Structure 1
Amino acid sequence: MSSGRVLFAVVAVVVLAVDRVTKGLVTANVTPGTALTAGPGVQIVNTHNSGAAFSLAPNATLFFLVASLVVAAGLLYYIVRNPVGSALGGTLGLVMGGALGNGYDRLVHGTVTDFIAVSFWPVFNIADSAITLGVLLLLFGYLRRQRSA
């Protein structure tokens, strides 16, 4: 097994675990409708989102559950069928862990728990952060390769 595939699996599992633990802690310790200050301009809240990021399409829970499963299956297929280096494996692991984290919430609870509130941004969670970072890193890598070509 290549180092890229190992890193893919490790990063995906770590993101999923951290996402599940943090959502569990928030659900158990933060009453919906209240906010805890975590730092300057950052609060921990307990909100539930049935749609996509930023509460887009709130009545499309099934669509986003299926999308999470399709993304996860596609990433797994890609990783198994193609050689991947460590950087790509880790990056795709971020997206996989995030897709599985939010997909789990949609499957089990029908909504996604969001809890990080930054004054200038909609409420989000660890899975959202991992997906966003993974996609940005993929885009950056693509643009970098295009400049080199």
Structure 2
Amino acid sequence: MRRTYVLWATAAAGLAVDQSTKALAAVFVEGHEARRVLGGAVTFTAFRNSGAAGSFAPDATLVFTFLAIATVVFITRVAPSVRSTGWAVGLGLVFAGAGGNLADRLFRTPGFGRGAVLDFVQVGGSGIFNVADQCVTLGAALILVQTFRGVRLRGGLGVR
């Protein structure tokens, strides 16, 4: 049975949560003093990130825009052949993360394709991140688990 619907439902849910939390952060966090919760374990503070995770390569915004486009296109092309639920969820999460940060790069200032991603959560002494970043991380981890378990994208076990 095809798992395409699982992939797209996961992607839609991840994108919705990412964009909703970024919209809330833009109103309630950005331009305000950092807010600590859970005994200071989590801090909400806004940061416009033009680079990749951890502000890596802040001058390569266009490169990251094209990488996100390539990721979204690749997942869209392989989606119809996914037969594994693990792969479907993993790819759906990666799509949500790439798509969520791509939306920022396309539509946030300073302009189309050069926008900065809105990061707003910090846990402990970690870097500042957003839901899209966590979707990519969790999705990549699920894909690695499927790969190490020998589960094929198109279902079943074995190497292919």
When normalised by structure 1's length, the TM-score is 0.91
Q: Which residue of 2 aligns with 1:55?
A: 55
1:113 partnered with 2:118: yes
Which is worse superposed, 113-122 or 14-23? 113-122
C-alpha contact 2:50 2:61 (8 A) present in aligned 1: yes
Which is worse superposed, 116-125 or 64-73? 116-125
Deviation at 1:33, TM superposition (A): 6.0
Structure 2 unmatched runs, 5+ = 109-114, 152-156
In 2, Cα distance between the equivalents of 1:44 and 1:63?
A: 28
1:97 partnered with 2:96: yes
Supply the AA of the counterpart residue of 1:65: T
Deviation at 1:130, TM superposition (A): 0.4
Secondary structure (helix, strand or coil) at the match of 1:121 reads coil
In 2, Cα distance between the equivalents of 1:84 and 1:55?
A: 36
Supply the AA of the counterpart residue of 2:136: I
Deviation at 1:73, TM superposition (A): 0.2
Secondary structure (helix, strand or coil) at the match of 2:35 reads strand
Q: Which residue of 2 aligns with 1:8?
A: 7
Which of 128, 133, 140 is equivalent to 2:133?
A: 128
Deviations 1:59-103 (A, max 9, x none): 1111101110000000111112x2422221111100001110000
Structure 1 unmatched runs, 5+ = none
Deviations 1:37-80 (A, max 9, x none): 23241111111100001100001111101110000000111112
- Bigger helix fraction: 1
In 2, Cα distance between the equivalents of 1:61 and 1:79?
A: 27
Q: Give the alignment's Cα RMSD to 1 decimal.
A: 1.8
After superposition, where does 1:33-44 map in structure 2 within 5 Å? 34-40=33-39, 41-44=41-44
Deviation at 1:140, TM superposition (A): 1.8
Q: Which residue of 1 aligns with 2:20?
A: 21
Deviation at 1:32, TM superposition (A): 3.2
Q: Which residue of 2 aligns with 1:70?
A: 70
